[in-house]
Amino acid sequence: MDAWLAILMFATPISLAAIGETVGQRSGVLNIGLEGTMLAGAVCAAMVALWSGNAWLGLSAGIAAGAALSALTAFLCVSRPADQVVVGTGVNLLAMGLTGAWFRSLFGQSGKLFTVPTLPKIGGLDPIAWTVPFLALGAFVLLRRTHFGLALRASGESPKAVEASGRSVFQLRWVGLLVSGALGAAGGAHLALVVSSTFAENMTSGRGFVALAMVTFGRWNPLGAFAACLLIGYLESLQFSLQAAGGGLPQELLLALPYATSLLALALFGRGGRAPAALAIPYRRSG
């Protein structure tokens, strides 16, 4: 496979999550539950694809599961003023526990290896991966060049001004969270259906958190986040080629590379960007 295509394929799950999360954070909501959302998307996609034999049906089921989880988050964090980190942590734990319990009650304690139907390939790559660059561009245009995008960004910067202009902060943040959840779950589904074509417990192994880091690294710009994710995709593809070549580094340290790189990137460039002013602050209507 062409090296560039491999990078794009490996980058697709976290890119989807990071692009969605950029939109969500721009609206003022920090979705810490992104990891759990990806995991729920992965398990639902894998299970439905396995039962129906249709990968597209699996993808839809995964996205629906992610949207449901982010609706729960939105109810607690937007409609009610719950702390976003607390709820996100709860959502992660919920997804981990439910998928783990579901998986074990189906396949027993030790689990089982199986292959799920995968998506067709066009020009060496699946259709979801092909859409990711356009999705990043689309999200960029949406945020920067449309009235809706302006309102969405304003609800993350100055929610009071949004309400004064007659828009509902609650509505905008609901939309932001649903986009974040649906794309995050689509990322998880892609991971299960295409990248690994199977499901294992906790298979997202922190990709949701890496995606969160990439939103910061990409300076809350969908194109920046996508570029940052390509770097992670490169590191992930590197693991396979270096492993195959039998390079000197132990496999475990190669696996740690994406996380360590994210940390280094944040330590070096984290301060340059400016987070949305009202990020993670619940909005309450006064009066």
By CB under 8 A, tell whether 281 contacts other proteins. Answer: no
Task: Return left, alpha or beta for 78; rule: phi > 0 is left, psi -120 to 50 is alpha, else beta.
Answer: alpha
By CB under 8 A, tell whether 158 contacts other proteins. Answer: no
Number of residues that bind other proteins (CB under 8 A): 52
Q: Find the shortest distance in angstroms from Cβ 243 to other proteins.
A: 14
By CB under 8 A, tell whether 266 contacts other proteins. Answer: yes
Distance CA 72, CA 86 (A): 13
By CB under 8 A, tell whether 213 contacts other proteins. Answer: yes
Among 140, 174, 199, 209, binds other proteins (CB under 8 A): 209
Among 38, 45, 87, 154, binds other proteins (CB under 8 A): 87
By CB under 8 A, tell whether 109 contacts other proteins. Answer: yes
Distance CA 239, CA 233 (A): 10
Which one, 15 or 99, has the nearer CB to other proteins?
A: 99
Which one, 145 or 271, has the nearer CB to other proteins?
A: 271
Given a contact cutoff of 8 angstroms between Cβ atoms, the answer to whether 126 and 10 are in contact is no
Distance CA 164, CA 241 (A): 55
Among 76, 116, 135, 175, binds other proteins (CB under 8 A): 76
Given a contact cutoff of 8 angstroms between Cβ atoms, the answer to whether 70 and 180 are in contact is yes
Among 71, 94, 223, 281, binds other proteins (CB under 8 A): 94
Positions touching other proteins (CB under 8 A) are 30, 32, 35, 72, 75-77, 80-83, 85-87, 89-94, 96-98, 100-105, 108-109, 205-206, 209-210, 212-213, 216, 250, 252-253, 255-256, 259-260, 262-263, 266-267, 270-271, 282
